[in-house]
Chains A and B, each alone.
Chain A
Amino acid sequence: MTTPKFVDSHPLDEIIRADRMPHIWCPGCGIGIAMRAYAAAILESDIPIDQHVVVSGIGCSGRVAGYMDIDSYHTTHGRAIPFATGIKLANPSLMVTIFSGDGDLAAIGGNHLIHAARRNLDVKVICINNFNYGMTGGQVGPTTPYGARGTTAPYGSPELPFNLPSLVAAAGANYVSRWTTLHVRQLKLDILASFTRPGFNFIEVLSPCPIGFGKSNRIKDGLEETELYRERCVLVDNGKVVALDVLGIDLREDKPIFIGEFVNRDRPPYAPIQLEGKS
C-alpha cells in the first residue's frame, strides 16, 4: 500500500523522519505541536542540525525521539536524563535535548530530574505535562490534580501533585519556564533561546490529552482544553520573582495558570573535573 501524497514537501522535511508518519498521537493531543516547536527551533538555531541530539524516555512524549531526523535515543522509562548525561559529558559539543513526559520525568525518573537540576547539567528538557499517563490509557500520575479522576483513581486522586516548575527550581536549575501548546511561538522562541542558555533548562509544556485525561475529567476534546488555556493563562513578568507555590495547576478550577519564565539565573553548569592544561 502506498501512502497518498498530498504535498510535495513540508518545511520540516529536513528534520522530521517523514517515512515514519503518520505518528501515533491521538486527535487533539498537543505533543505534535510541541515537537514542531522543537523542530522549528533547531532549524532556526545556529547550531548545525547534526550536533543536535534528542533523548526520550517512555510514553507518548517519548516517541518524539523516533520522529526527529537527528541522532535520537528512545531509552527506558525514566532514564532519559541519565542517558543524556552520558552523551553530553562524552561529547560536550553536542546540543542535547530531553523530550519526554511528566510521568517519565517526574515519577519513575524523578530522582534523575532533581539531581540533573541540582548539578545544573547543561542539557535542555522539554517536559510535556498532560496530567496523566496517556500511553497506558489515562492513569493518574505525579502531576494529576488532587481529586481529578483517572483509570486508576475512579473516585478521584487522593494524592497531592507535584508542581514541576517549583520542584525543578528548588532543585537548582538555571532556567525554568512554562508554556502550553496554545503558545506555539513563545514555546519555539524559548526552546531556541535555551540552546544558548547554559545549564539545566526546564521547559514545561501543558498539553491536552483528551483521550487520557480529558475523558475522565469532563474535558471533551483538545480544543476545549486549549480554550481553557486561552481563558486562564497569565503571563508572568520575565525576571520578576514569582511565588512558586502559586504555580500549581488544576484545570477544573477557574484559577489563573501562570506561564512564562519563572527562573533565569546564572549558576555554573556542571563540568567534569579536568586537570589537563592546569599546572
Chain B
Amino acid sequence: MSKARVLTGKHFMHGDYACAEGALAARCNFFAGYPITPSTEIAERLSRRLPEVGGVFIQMEDELGSIAAILGASAAGARSMTATSGPGLSLMMENLGLAIMLEIPCVIVDIQRGSPSTGLPTMAGQSDVMQSKWGSHGDYEIVAYAPWSPQEIFDLTVLSFNIADRFRTPVIILGDEVIGHMVERVIIPPEDQLPIWERKKPPHPPSDNGQFKAFQPDSHLIPPMAHAGEGYRVHFTGLTHDERGYPDMTADTHHKLITRLNNKIRHNADQIIRTEAYHLDDAEIVIISYGCTARSARRAMREARLEGIPVGLLRLVSIWPFPEDLIQELTGQVQTFIVAEMNLGQVRREVERLIHKPVKGIHHAGGAMIPPEPILKTIQEVAQHDYT
C-alpha cells in the first residue's frame, strides 16, 4: 500500500499538516516525537504518512529522548525531524547543544504557545525566540525560521532540511499556534521541482588508507559527513575534539573548534537568511514582524499607506541568524522602527542592539493574535510626531 511521498497539487490544509507534508517532500524518513499541544498534529500526521512511504515514526518517552533519537537517526544517514512546543523545546536544549557540537543535521519544529511553563497550551505565543538562540549552554549560532502561513511552513520545512544538511546544523522552525492550527491554501509542487541539497560526503571511500578525518572542515568550514555503517569508523563526541573527532581537551583546540562552529553559520549567513520586504524603498517608518503577527502588521501597513504614511514592513522569514546587515543598512533612511511580536520584546531588543536608539514595540505576552489596530495606531502616532 505504497502512497505518494509528495502530495503534489492544491490543498486546503492545516498548518501542522503542511509542516508534516513539507518534511515528507524534503525526503524526511525519520520522526521521533512526544505529544504536545499545539504541535501534536504534526506527529499524528507523520505517524500515518511515514509508514506509507517507508519511513520510520516513533513516539518516544519524552522530548529528551525525541531529540536524541533524531540525532542518532541522522548520524546513521536519515533526514530526521521532531516537533514540539515551548516546554518540550526546553527539554531539547540539552541535545540541541550536542547537535551543534557533533554537527548533526536535523529539524526541530516548535509550534509556540503562551509561555513560560505550561502557560497557554492551546493558545499562540512567540516567546521562544530567545530560547532558540540562547537556550542551550555555550556559544553557538542557531538557524531558525518563522513561517507566517501554512504554505510557508511547508516551504520552510523543505528549506530547513536543506539548510540543515548543507551546513551540518540543527534548524529550528519557530511556528506558532495560529499558523499551526490555521487552514489555508497550500500548493505542493511536483517532486522534481523540490530542491534537495545533499550532505557533502567524504571525498574518498573508507578503504583508501582510512585517513578520513571526520571533523576536518572544507573551505566553507563544514566537514563532509560519514554515517554509521559506512566503514569510516568515525568517532563523535560531545567533548571538545580535534579534526579526527578525538577528545582534545585543551584551551587552544576548544577555541578553534567553537570559533569554527560559530563561523560556519556567520560566514554563510547570506545563504541562510530570508526576509521579505514590503515598501521598504521609500519607507521612513519600518515595522519589523514575523510569524502570525506579521499578518496583522501587513494589514496595518497597508492601511497606513492609504493614509499617505511612508511605512514599510520587514518580515523576518528567518529570525536566526539575525539580519544585522540589512537592518543596519536601513538605519540611514528609516526614522523609526516598530517591532510587533507576541512576546514582551525579544526581537525588539535585537533591533535596539543594532541601531542604538529606541525602537517602538508592540507587544503582547501571548494568548491572542495582536490585531492590526494597535499596530496602525502606533504607526499613526509615530507619523504624527515625526511629520507634523
Q: Does B201 lie at the interface of the complex (its beta carbon under 8 Å from any beta carbon of A)? A: no
Which residues from 81 to 104 on chain A have a C-beta closer than 8 Å to any C-beta of chain B?
81-91, 93-94
Partner of A112, one of B1, B52, B65, B102: B65
Knowing A51-B229, A82-B68 are in contact, say whether A272-B51 is a contact too (CB < 8 A): yes
Q: Which residue of B lies closest to A74 (CB)?
A: B237
Contact B64 A82 (CB under 8 A): yes
Nearest CB of A to B322, in Å: 28
Which residues from A are CB-within-8-Å of B382?
none
Expressed in whole angstroms, the Cα–Cα distance for A74 and B75 within the complex equals 12
Q: Does B372 lie at the interface of the complex (its beta carbon under 8 Å from any beta carbon of A)? A: no
Which residues from B are CB-within-8-Å of A17?
235, 246
* Closest 3 pairs (CB-CB, A-B): A86-B72, A86-B73, A82-B68
Knowing A82-B65, A90-B56, A90-B72 are in contact, say whether A53-B229 is a contact too (CB < 8 A): yes
Nearest CB of A to B33, in Å: 12
Supply 10 A–B pairs (Cβ within 8 Å), ascending by A: A72-B235, A74-B235, A82-B32, A82-B68, A86-B32, A90-B78, A94-B76, A115-B65, A272-B51, A279-B1
Contact B239 A74 (CB under 8 A): yes
Nearest CB of B to A84, in Å: 6
Q: Which residue of B lies closest to A15 (CB)?
A: B233
Contact B233 A90 (CB under 8 A): no
Task: Count residues on chain A whose CB falls below 8 Å from chain B CBs.
Answer: 42
Task: Count residues on chain B whose CB falls below 8 Å from chain A CBs.
Answer: 51
Could you mark each residue 28-53 of chain A with 1 if its beta carbon is under 8 Å from any beta carbon of chain B, else 0? 00000000000000000000001101
Interface residues of B (CB under 8 A from A): 1-2, 29-30, 32, 51-54, 56-58, 60-62, 64-66, 68-78, 80, 94-95, 97-98, 102, 206, 227-239, 246-247
Contact B237 A91 (CB under 8 A): no
Knowing A75-B98, A111-B65 are in contact, say whether A87-B58 is a contact too (CB < 8 A): no
Which residues from 203 to 256 on chain A have a C-beta closer than 8 Å to any C-beta of chain B?
none
Q: Which residue of B lies closest to A272 (CB)?
A: B56
Contact B98 A76 (CB under 8 A): yes
Which of A62-70, A150-158, A162-170 contacts its partner? A62-70
Interface residues of A (CB under 8 A from B): 17, 19-20, 50-51, 53, 55, 65-66, 69-76, 78-79, 81-91, 93-94, 111-112, 115, 272-276, 278-279
List the count of A-B residue pairs having beta carbons below 8 Å apart.
160
Contact A275 B52 (CB under 8 A): yes
Which residues from B are CB-within-8-Å of A279?
1
Nearest CB of B to A47, in Å: 11
Partner of A273, one of B57, B64, B80: B57
Expressed in whole angstroms, the Cα–Cα distance for A111 and B71 within the complex equals 18
Which residues from B are CB-within-8-Å of A65?
235, 237
Contact B76 A91 (CB under 8 A): yes
Which residues from A are CB-within-8-Å of B52?
275-276
Which residues from A are CB-within-8-Å of B236?
72-74
Contact B98 A86 (CB under 8 A): no
Contact B68 A87 (CB under 8 A): no
Knowing A85-B72, A86-B71, A275-B52 are in contact, say whether A94-B65 is a contact too (CB < 8 A): no
Partner of A70, one of B53, B74, B227, B233: B233
Contact A273 B51 (CB under 8 A): yes
Contact B75 A87 (CB under 8 A): yes
Which residues from B are CB-within-8-Å of A115?
60-61, 65
Contact B65 A75 (CB under 8 A): no
Contact B233 A69 (CB under 8 A): yes
Which residues from A are CB-within-8-Å of B94?
76, 79
Expressed in whole angstroms, the Cα–Cα distance for A94 and B231 within the complex equals 11
